[in-house]
Amino acid sequence: MTAIDLPPSLLATLPGSSYTDPAIFAREQAKIFEADWFCAVRSADLAGPGAFETVQIGKESVLVSRGRDGKLNAFLNVCRHRGARLCTSETGTVKRAFQCPYHAWTYGLDGKLIAAPNLTGMPDVDRTEFGLTKLHLQEWLGYAWVCLADEPPSFEETVIGAVTERLGGPAEIDAYGIDGLALGKRIEYDVKANWKQIIENFMECYHCATIHPELTEVLPEFADGYAAQYYVGHGAEFGGDIKGFTVDGSEGVDRLPGVTEAQDRKYYAITIKPGVFVNLVPDHVILHRMFPLAPDRTLVRCDWLYLPEVVESGRDLSRSVELFHRVNLQDFEACERCQLAMDSRSYARGGVLVPSEHHIGAFHDWVRTRLS
Ligand code: FES
Ligand SMILES: [Fe+2]
C-alpha cells in the first residue's frame, strides 16, 4: 500500500522488503521453489548413464543423474549416513555409483545404498530405505523438471497450463519441436537482484523503448510499451524490413519445420512461474532458467536452441545470439538498479504499476497467496 490513495491508473506493487527480507526469501524457497515444478537441467546435458548435475532448488542441493536404464533421476544431494553433501561438483560423470567422500557410503545410480564399510555386518539395514531421497521428475521441452513436494501439483495444470494459457492452445508450442533442438549457445548471468524483479521485468515492455534499442528495431510494436504477454495468443510481429531475429535484423538460420504461417515472423514470450521464460521465434528458441540463490542474487541460465543440423554445420550464430544476450544484459542491469533501492525508505511501501504493467499485479497476488 502506498501512503496516498492511488488513482485508477496506478496499482501498488509489493513493498521493498519483499525483495530484501531473508525471512520472506526463506518462505518463498519453502512455499514456491520447493513446492512447484522447477526446471532443473537440460536433459541432453546428461548424455549417458552416470552423468550428473547438481542444482540449487529452494534451499536444497539437488542431484540429477542418468541411470543405467537411460532414465533421469533426481535426489536430494545429501548422504543418508551423517548428511555430508554427496556431490560437490556442478557436473560430472561417475562410473557406476556415487560414493560419499566422508565414510564411503555408496549409492547406485538408482539411489539405492549398495555399499558401506561393514554394511554386511548390519543385515538389518534396508538398502532402499537408506538410499538417497528420491524426488519427482518429469521431462518436457527437453528439460528435466523436478518437484520437491511429497505430492506435486499437476504438471499439466501448472507448467503446461501456463504455456497453453499464454499461447491460446496446447498445440502451439509443439510446433517448435523444442525437445528435438540442440544447444547453440548457453550464457550464465549472475544477477544481483531478487528473482521477482527478473520476472516483473520480463512481463512488461514499458521499458522496451528506453533500454532495448535493438529489440524494438526488430519488433517495432514493443516501442509502444505493450508486452507480447499482455494479450493471449499474441505474437509480436517483426518489422517490415527485418529479415530475422538477429541483432541487426539480418537473416536468421533455417526455420523450425513445424512453425506455422501464423507463427512465422513473430516473437512469443511465455513465463512459466516461478522460474522459466520461453521465447519463441521462427528459427530458434531461447529458454531462461532462474536459480534464486539469495534475496538479492539470482543465477540465470539462458539457452539458445536451434535445429541440430544448424548447430552441427558450425554456422555463425553470433548475430542471432547477440540480440537476446544484449536484451538480457539490458534487463538485468535494470533489475540490479532497482534492487539497490529496495531497502530505501522511499520504497518501504513499494512503488506503482502503470496500466501496461497492471498484469504484474496478478503476479504479486500469486506471490502473496502462495506465501500466506
Ligand atoms: S556422511 Fe556420508 S558416508 Fe558418512
Ligand atoms: Fe526487457
Helix, strand, or coil (residue 299): strand
For 265-304, what is each residue's pLDDT tens digit? 999 999 999 999 999 999 999 999 999 999 999 999 999 9
Report how far ligand 2's centroid is from the alpha carbon of 276 (Å).
15
The dihedral formed by the CA atoms of 228, 234, 239 and 245, expressed in degrees to the nearest 10? 70
Measured between alpha carbons, how far is 152 from 257 in angstroms, rounded to an integer? 34
322 pLDDT band (50/70/90 cuts)? very high
Shortest-distance atom of ligand 1 to CA 116:
3
User: Is a pLDDT exceeding 80 seen at residue 227?
Assistant: no
Report how far ligand 2's centroid is from the alpha carbon of 236 (Å).
14
pLDDT of residue 169: 83
pLDDT of residue 2: 46
Domains of the chain as residue ranges with CATH: 38-147 (2.102.10.10), 155-371 (3.90.380.10)
Measured between alpha carbons, how far is 106 from 12 in angstroms, rounded to an integer? 53
Helix, strand, or coil (residue 181): coil
Measured between alpha carbons, how far is 370 from 372 in angstroms, rounded to an integer? 6
Report how far ligand 1's centroid is from the alpha carbon of 113 (Å).
12
Report how far ligand 2's centroid is from the alpha carbon of 215 (Å).
9
C-alpha cell at 169: 492452445
pLDDT of residue 3: 55
For 300-366, the DSSP string reads EEEEEEE-HHHHHTT---HHHHHHHHHHHHHHHHHHHHHHTTTTSGGGTT--EE-GGGHHHHHHHHH
pLDDT of residue 229: 59
Ligand 1 contacts CB of residue 231 (under 6 A): no
User: Is a pLDDT exceeding 70 seen at residue 228?
Assistant: no
Report angle CA 168, 169, 174 to the nearest 5 degrees. 125
Measured between alpha carbons, how far is 20 from 110 in angstroms, rounded to an integer? 39
58 within 8 A of 172, measured Cβ to Cβ: no
Which residue has the least CA distance to atom 1 on ligand 1? 82
For 14-56, what is each residue's pLDDT tens digit? 999 999 999 999 999 999 999 999 999 999 999 999 999 999 9
Q: What percent of the chain has pLDDT over 90?
A: 94
Ligand (nearest to CA of 333): 2
pLDDT of residue 1: 45
Q: What percent of the chain has pLDDT over 70?
A: 98
Ligand 1 contacts CB of residue 105 (under 6 A): yes
